[in-house]
């Protein structure tokens, strides 16, 4: 039993399953907003379940593929040398198998959500897998990651039968800017290593201080697009409160990270952003519940 639990822990470390909290709440938001726009009370349990399966599979495929193709780079970086593949906890064949299995799971779940989602599933896979290659040729891989995660609310909107509307696209842009902004901050800790390895990032191109300024602008843009969703869908005060909480959390995140002091970077990356996504999602759901 202990061996099984240890193996589960190894795979969890490989894909950082706990980081699913960054994308999953926005998929739920997309589903809830789509049904509300159509005059329905709540998303069906079946559709919601398949949306969540699709999201977990997409993210698992993306992370496993990232760890697979970056294994040699991770092994040379002191910060990442103990990740599952370079540390020898999981071999490359197992990581490749997990990647392919997760890709298949995404396609199956998309098929269960309808012909449109099935037709778009290769696009979703291309988006989430290609991010891992982007830092080899562009300094803006942060936005590539954001765009890959940002497809979640629009995908959920389409899966729930939502018609054309700018709101899910605005929410996707908000997510892309939010993720891109905090990924810029997270990449600060690898600036020296990336520079030596010839890898690209905003800190490598701009330096730490200017990269942090760009991150701040991204987060201002994220809040602006969240307000755009509020305006276009005529949402209520609880959603607006969620946007205000999100803005406050982002301001706090930037207050605790400095170019010469990254000691609280992990708290800014996981705790603050995890609370942001969950809180905004809960207040969006409650906003719909009290206004039915």
pLDDT tens digits along 235-256: 999 999 999 999 999 999 999 9
Query: How buried is 119 (Cβ within 10 angstroms: 0-12 exposed, 13-18 middle, 19+ buried)?
Result: exposed
CA distance 250 to 84: 31
Among 9-23, 77-91, 143-157, 217-231, the range scoring the smallest mean pLDDT is 9-23
* Overall size of the chain counted in residues: 292
Q: Is 131:144 a contact under the CB 8 Å cutoff?
A: yes
CA distance 101 to 94: 10
What counts of helices (H) and strands (E) characterise the chain?
A: 14, 0
Q: For residue 112, give both structure tokens.
A: 């269960």
Q: For residue 67, give both structure tokens.
A: 């760890």
Q: Which tens digit of pLDDT belongs to each residue from 124-136?
A: 999 999 999 999 9
- Residue 218's pLDDT is what? 98
pLDDT band, very low/low/confident/very high, at 9 (cuts 50, 70, 90): confident
Angle CA(259)–CA(260)–CA(264) in degrees, nearest 5? 85
Q: What is the mean pLDDT of residues 133-144?
A: 94
Q: For residue 247, give both structure tokens.
A: 């803005």
Q: What is the mean pLDDT of residues 2-28?
A: 77
Show the domains of the chain with their CATH numbers.
2-290 (1.10.357.140)
CA distance 218 to 179: 9
pTM above 0.85, yes or no: yes
- Residue 115's pLDDT is what? 92
Residue 101 has pLDDT above 90, yes or no: yes
């Amino acid at each position: 039993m202990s061996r099984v639990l240890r193996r589960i822990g190894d795979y969890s470390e490989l894909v950082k399953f706990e980081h699913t909290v960054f994308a999953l709440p926005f998929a739920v938001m997309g589903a809830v907003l789509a049904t509300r726009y159509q005059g329905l009370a709540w998303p069906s349990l079946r559709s919601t379940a398949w949306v969540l399966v699709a999201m977990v599979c997409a993210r698992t495929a993306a992370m496993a593929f990232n760890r697979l193709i970056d294994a040699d780079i991770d092994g040379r970086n002191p910060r990442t040398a103990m990740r599952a593949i370079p540390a020898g906890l999981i071999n490359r064949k197992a990581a490749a198998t997990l990647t392919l299995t997760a890709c298949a799971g995404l396609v199956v779940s998309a098929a269960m959500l309808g012909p449109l989602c099935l037709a778009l599933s290769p696009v979703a896979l291309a988006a989430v897998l290609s991010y891992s290659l982007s830092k080899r040729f562009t300094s803006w891989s942060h936005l590539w990651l954001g765009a890959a995660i940002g497809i979640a609310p629009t995908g959920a909107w389409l899966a729930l039968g939502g018609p054309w509307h700018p709101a899910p696209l605005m929410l996707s842009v908000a997510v892309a800017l939010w993720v891109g902004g905090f990924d810029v901050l997270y990449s600060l800790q690898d600036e020296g290593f990336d520079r030596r390895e010839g890898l690209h990032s905003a800190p490598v191109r701009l330096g730490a201080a200017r990269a942090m300024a760009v991150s701040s602008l991204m987060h201002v843009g994220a809040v602006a697009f969240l307000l755009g969703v509020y305006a276009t869908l005529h949402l209520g005060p609880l959603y607006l409160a969620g946007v205000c909480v999100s803005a406050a959390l982002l301001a706090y995140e930037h207050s605790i990270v400095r170019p010469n002091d990254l000691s609280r970077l992990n708290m800014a990356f996981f705790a603050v952003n995890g609370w942001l996504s969950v809180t905004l999602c809960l207040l969006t759901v409650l906003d719909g519940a009290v206004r039915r």
